[in-house]
Structures are given as C-alpha cells and as structure tokens.
Amino acid sequence: MRPFLLYYMKQTGLLIFLIAQKKKQSLEKIKGSDKWSVKKLFIFLKQKEMDSWKILWLFSHLLYWFGESLNNGLGLTPPMGWSTWNYFARDWNASVFYQAVNVFVKMGLKEVGYEYINVDGGWWYHINNSIVRNASGFMTFDPVKYNISGYGTSIVDVINYVHSNGLKYGHYTDAGVSACDKDTPMSEYYETQVSAHNNFYFIIIIIDIALFVEWGMDMIKVDACYVQENETVIMQRWQKMLNATGRPVLLSDCRNGCMHDNSTNQFDL
C-alpha cells in the first residue's frame, strides 16, 4: 500500500473503515450501534476540519482501488417495473409513486416480476436550471414535488413506502457536467475545480453515490448526457464505486447509442 495513502488513512481513522469493509463487517462491531455510512463519515471528517479535497480524493481512491466488478447477483433477467419518464417525463409530483405502488400491490404485479418503481429526471431541487446542493455538496430533492398530503414530505418517505410494500426503488442521475435537460451541476461539473488540485474530477461521484445509497436505492439509471470523458470509462467507474458500497444496486447503463455500435460490446464493462 502506498505510504501517503496509509498516512491519510491513519490520520482520519479510515484504516478501521477499510479493514471493516474488506472483512465484510459493519462498524456496529467497532463503534457500537453507529452503523457505517459514507455520507456520515464524510460529514464527520469535514466537521474535523479536514480539507474537503483530501477527503474526496481519499474516498475515491479507496473505492476505486478496492472495488471490484459489479457482480452482485442482480440483472440476471431483464428488470421490470415502472418509471416516471415513460409518461410524465419531468412533469410529476410524488403522488404518482404512491399511486404506482398501490396499483402494483392491487394487481399483484410483483408476483409476475414487476418490482421496480423508478424516478427519472426532475427529482432534484433547482432554481433556473441550477441544481441546489447543500453545504456538504449533497444534492437536494424538490420539496414541493415530494410534499404529498397523507403520505409524506420527502424523497425518503417515497422510498420507505416503496420498500414497505415489498418493492424496489430505482433512482436517477447523470454522469456528465449537466443533466440531459441541462440542469447543473451533475457529477462531472466539478472537473475544473478538482483539476486545480491535481486530482481526478471523478471524486465528486462518491458524494452522489453516498447520498443515494443512504436513501436506500436498489437501482440507478445513470445517463451520459454532456459527458467530457469516454462513456465506457465513466460507467466502469460508477460500476466499481457502486460495488464498493456493499449495497446491491442494479446499474442501468444509459449511454447514447450504446445499442448500435457493431464494433465493440458496449455492455462489456
């Protein structure tokens, strides 16, 4: 292991984190009942006034080096379910999720293989096409869309409702600078900021993955609109980092034109 990486791990307590992950143990055995969370760990380190770029650099390298291919037992058959995009595009509120779940349960669709309830573009809070991220860099959901009387007020309420009915929740993001509808900043937006620190721009991905995993996603559709790097490389990166979280998440690789390239297997991640 590289000496400088070991130094940072010792300084931040991440040596314990890495050992626990490699042994597939939870931090409950090390730190009482405080279950491990990348998001919580990131915030904890930031509260300790550790430089944010060092934290992100470290997280990205740990996940990239120790992650393996996304062979998590999912996707052995075509995933089936329902998505907001197929009818509503971005013009929806969270009531459609609750209605969809109720229909799935009433009609017994899970029993015949339909199990995913998926959100697509437009779930985030934005002002004039500018996505609002909080002080820690995490994306925020649209508070108006998710405030549904009698059901809940947040995206987590939707996800919990999906799970409580035995179904799976599918999330959405874009790997580029902007989303397909040009909302920004998405994960690749931070390229110039990170380049200034002589690091890889992809480190910002860990912030989004950490948030989505903590919310409880079971599937994620990753678009490739407005990307500045090779799309295959980008999807491989998402693949490795998702696998390193330890949560089984189905990756929906949504690259433009991935079905018509006759020279290479675009699905060979």
Position with higher pLDDT, 205 vs 28: 205
The whole-number average pLDDT for the span 164-175 is 94
- What is the C-alpha end-to-end distance of the chain, expressed in Å? 26
Domain match, 54 and 151 both: no
Q: What is the mean pLDDT of the chain?
A: 72
pLDDT digits (tens, 9 = 90+) for 198-236: 344 455 677 888 899 999 999 999 887 777 777 788 888
Identify the domain boundary among 40, 66, 92: 66
110: in domain: yes
141: in domain: yes
Identify the domain boundary among 39, 66, 93: 66
Which pLDDT score is estimated for 5?
Answer: 41
Angstrom CA distances, 13 to 16, 151, 256, stand at 6, 40, 41
Which pLDDT score is estimated for 234?
Answer: 80
Position with higher pLDDT, 142 vs 269: 142
Whether pLDDT at 112 is above 80 = yes
Which range, of 37-41, 94-98, 223-227, averages the lowest pLDDT? 37-41
Domain match, 84 and 54 both: no
Q: Residue 40 belongs to what domain range? A: 3-66
Domain match, 59 and 100 both: no
Q: Long-range contacts of range 133-137, CB-CB < 8 Å, 24 or more positions apart?
A: 133/185, 136/42, 136/43, 136/46, 136/207, 137/52, 137/204, 137/207
Position with higher pLDDT, 121 vs 18: 121
For residue 185, whether the previous peptide bond is cis, meaning omega lies within 30 degrees of 0, is: yes
Domain match, 177 and 59 both: no
Nearest Cα to Cα of residue 203 among 62, 66, 38, 60 = 60
131: in domain: yes
Which pLDDT score is estimated for 266?
Answer: 41
- In angstroms, the CA 61 to CA 58 distance is 5
Q: What percent of the chain has pLDDT over 90?
A: 32
The whole-number average pLDDT for the span 68-87 is 79
Total domains, the chain = 2
- In angstroms, the CA 265 to CA 253 distance is 13
pTM of the predicted model over 0.85: no
